[in-house]
Structure 1
């Protein structure tokens, strides 16, 4: 897997700028630029920070290497946002989504 390309691809799919990803992940913009250009390789810790900022796990990051089906960008973004909610907020959101689904299966 080409880690620099994968980071850039995911970032672009989510519509996140380099500076926003750097800020959200807590790494410097310079370092992120060097990672995306393949000049530097991220440590596991840095890659975990980037994945968290992109709303996915390390497993999801590596699973999307063309071996299997990837989640659409909007679904990954929903997951990233849901991870920031409280358990109660997630439960309420889930109930709303289930209600929408039940009402649209008509």
Structure 2
């Protein structure tokens, strides 16, 4: 997998620039540009983790070879839901049920 191409693909899906991604990821533009220009084709995992945070995805989604069957928005919801407590999940489910009734 070409990391730079994957980053570009994900940025295009979200309609954000590489510079905006650097800001969202809290990494320097020079670090991200180094990856994008293949000067650093194997960045550190902590750098990739920050990029994933900026893209609002997990590392697993980043490295997935196949397109997930679920839309990225749904995957983001699932990732967020996984981090909730059981009580918070119940509140979320009730909220979603309310939205679904409208």
The normalised TM-score by structure 1 is: 0.68
Query: How do residues 40-79 of structure 1 correspond to structure 2 at under 5 angstroms?
Result: 40-41=40-41, 42-63=43-64, 65-66=65-66, 68-69=67-68, 71-75=70-74
SS at match of 1:47: helix
The normalised TM-score by structure 2 is: 0.71
SS at match of 2:21: helix
**CA displacement at 1:77 relative to structure 2:** 6.0
Q: Distance in 2 between matches of 1:53 and 1:90?
A: 24
**CA displacement at 1:57 relative to structure 2:** 1.3
Show structure 2 runs of 5+ residues with no match.
none
Root-mean-square deviation (CA, aligned residues, Å) is 2.9
Show structure 1 runs of 5+ residues with no match.
none
Extract structure 1 runs of 4+ deviating beyond 6 A. Answer: 86-91
Q: Distance in 2 between matches of 1:19 and 1:91?
A: 38
Aligned residue pairs: how many? 99
**CA displacement at 1:22 relative to structure 2:** 0.5
